[in-house]
Structure 1
Amino acid sequence: MGRLQDKTAIITGGAGGIGKGMAMAFVKEGANVVIVDLNEEAGQEVVKELQQYQPESSFIQANLAEHDKLKGIVGDVVSQYGKLDILVNNAHASKNKPFLETTQEDMDLSFNTGFYPTFYLMQAAVPHLRETKGKIINFASGAGIQGHASQAAYAAAKEAIRAITRVAANEFGKDGINVNLIAPIANSPGVQQWAKEEPEYYQEVVNKIPMQRFGELEEDIGRAALFLASDDSNYITGQTLNVDGGTVKF
């Protein structure tokens, strides 16, 4: 039996990148994974891969910026599987701009796709997670922790997510719900494309990572999420796990 045997997990942004890496790590340990993503074509392809390990895994096509529909996503999953054990809020869209050029529209994009879906999905999931003593994994970023230039909208939303994660950890610890964060540096498809387009700048960034590489999507980020989703982390809550090769130190 796997570490997540018979668990039901929702992963937003699961049709690629870190989301897919986590989904693969979870199904290989026995979880039924529901990936939620805007990209239907990619989502259908990924779910076929997941079903090779867990035939009951599934895909929900959704625009997470449509906040009034988020409660229904959780309800549909619970209706289908009978319970919810794990919620992973990974999806987030944002634009990088210098601070003085960042607009209300830029802020709205970041908060509407990152912060608010995290907030509303947590609200919808908690009543069900109380029943299963479940887990919530949210996503932070070194951009917020360190204040990276040209990432005001992204950093602001990520730090807001960290704030509500700590609040939720304090409120729901008594219910046996663990609420934690991952702040990753990952070898995503976007990073791979960037490495091809700007190899010198890419190498400069790699050189600043103590472990001299970006994290692998499944083996590094996915398995860190697996730890936080499993019983191995039952006495850990309200924490930010920096899965970044040693980049952020505190």
Structure 2
Amino acid sequence: MSKLQDKVVIITGGAGGIGGGIAKAMVKEGAVVAIVDVNEEMGQAMEKELQAISPKSMFIKADLMDHKNLFKIVDTVVEKCGKLDVLVNNAHASRQFTIEETSQEDLDLSFGTGFYPTFYLMQAALPHLKETKGSVINFASGAGIRGQETQGAYAAAKEAIRGISRVAANEWGPFGVNVNIISPLANSPGVQAWAKAQPEYYEQVVNKIPLGRFGELEEDIGRVAVFLASEDSRYITGQTLMVDGGSVMLS
């Protein structure tokens, strides 16, 4: 039997990039995946690709900045699928500025697309995850762990996500719900565009990665997400997994 056979999964930002890679990896392990994204064209295209493997998988168009309607996402999936096993909070948007230049609007974007949806979707999912003894997978970043320049708004929101993930791991452990964090370094469309625009700088960065490359969306990041969503990780909770080729080594 596949590792995620008949598990029902919600993935935010699942129309492409890391979220899309996770979605592909999970349907190949038997999951029914609901991808949530604001990009309708990409979402519908990904839905077709996922349904070729997992016919019940679906695309839900939603603006994660509309926090009042986040509970509807969980309600829709549970109504259609009968349960929820895994919540993957992947979506996040931000702008790069120094702390001195960062505005309230910049903070609102980062927290509004990253931290708040993660928090509210976790709240919405918990009653259902209690029933399935399910899992939450949240996303951090080396930008927050290392304190990367010009990433103040992004780093703050990502570290806030790590904080609530650890709290949830303690609070939800007695229910059999595990909560973990992936901090990835991925060969995303944005990284690919950057590599073309600044090839020399890209090579400098790659050369500093111990494993010598950016992670593949499905094969590297997606497979770790499959592990965290499966029974293989049932005794792991509250942990940050650095899926970054060794770029950050936590002590």
TM range (shorter): over 0.9
* TM-fit CA distance, 1:63: 0.1
* 1:26-85 Cα shifts (integer Å, max 9, x gaps): 000000000000000000000111011100000000000000000011011000000000
**Hey, which bits of structure 1, 4+ residues long, moved more than 2 A?**
none
User: 5+ residue gaps in structure 2?
Assistant: none
- Partner AA of 1:6 in structure 2: D
Shift of residue 212, structure 1, vs aligned partner? 0.8
Residue identity matched to 2:47: V
Q: Which residue of 2 aligns with 1:154?
A: 154
* Paired AA for residue 219 in structure 1: E
Number of aligned residue pairs: 250
Determine the C-alpha separation between the residues in 1 that align with 2:126 and 2:248: 30
Counting only pairs closer than 5 Å after superposition, residues 110-149 of structure 1 correspond to structure 2 as: 110-149=110-149
Is 1:3 aligned to residue 12 of structure 2? Answer: no
In structure 1, how many angstroms separate the alpha carbons of the residues matched to 2:75 and 2:47? 20
Matched, 1:26 2:37: no
Cα deviations across residues 12-32 of structure 1 (Å, max 9, x unaligned)?
A: 000000000000000000000
CA distance in 1, matches of 2:50, 2:198: 33
Partner of 2:13: 13
Q: Which residue number in structure 2 is paired with residue 75 of structure 1?
A: 75
Q: What's the counterpart of residue 246 of structure 1?
A: 246
| Alignment partners' CA distance in 2, 1:56 and 1:76 | 13
Question: Where do 1:1-250 residues align within 5 Å?
Answer: 1-250=1-250
C-alpha distance in 1 between matches for 2:142 and 2:166: 17
1:200 alignment partner AA: E
Aligned-pair distance for 1:90?
0.1
**Paired letter, 1:9:** V
Q: Describe the superposition over 1:187-211 as per-residue Cα deviations: whole angstroms up to 9, x where unpaired.
A: 0000000000000111111111101
Q: Secondary structure at the match of 2:149?
A: coil
**Alpha-carbon distance in structure 2 between the residues aligned to 1:72 and 1:49:** 24
Q: Aligned-pair distance for 1:99? A: 1.7
TM-score normalized by the length of structure 1: 0.99
Looking at structure 2, the residues matched to 48 and 73 of structure 1 have their Cα atoms a distance apart, in angstroms, of 19
1:203-229 Cα deviation digits (max 9, x unpaired): 111111101100000000000000000
Instruction: For 2:27 and 2:248, locate their aligned partners in 1 and report how far apart those are by CA, in whole Å.
Output: 30
CA distance in 2, matches of 1:249, 1:54: 36
SS at match of 2:55: coil
Superposed displacement of residue 98, structure 1:
1.4
1:94-145: CA deviation from partner (whole Å, max 9, x where unpaired): 0011121111110110000000000000000000000000000000000000
Supply the distance in 2 between the matched residues of 1:171 and 1:201 (Cα, whole angstroms): 43
Q: Distance in 2 between matches of 1:210 and 1:95?
A: 28
Length-normalised TM-score, structure 2: 0.99
Equivalent residue letter for 2:236? I
Q: Distance in 2 between matches of 1:107 and 1:222?
A: 28
Supply the AA of the counterpart residue of 1:234.
R
Let me know the Cα RMSD of the aligned residues. 0.4
Q: Is the partner of 1:41 in helix, strand or coil?
A: helix
